[in-house]
Amino acid sequence: MRGFQVLANETGRGAAMKAWRTIALHTAVAAGFMFVLQRYGLSATLESSLLWAIVFGGCAAGLAYSQANR
């Protein structure tokens, strides 16, 4: 939460770069978590695990984007 407050106080290119970095990190963590959960926790196929990772990564990117633009 503190990171988004800092973004709101900054202006210009620095704030935009921090926002995109936060969005990318959120996306990567969500996709990685879903892949590991599907592949090893639920013993799903590789194709299914990758598909779920992409879907959840996209959803996480959308949520992080909407939070960064508040």
The helix or strand, by DSSP H or E, that contains position 31, with its residue range, turns out to be helix 13-36
Q: How far apart are the first and last CA of the chain?
A: 12
Block mean pLDDT (10 aa), the chain, length 70: 54 69 94 95 94 95 90
Give the list of residues 6+ apart from residue 54 with CB closer than 8 angstroms, or none. 31
pTM of the model: 0.72
Tell the residue number behind the tokens 């598909």, with chain if given: 51
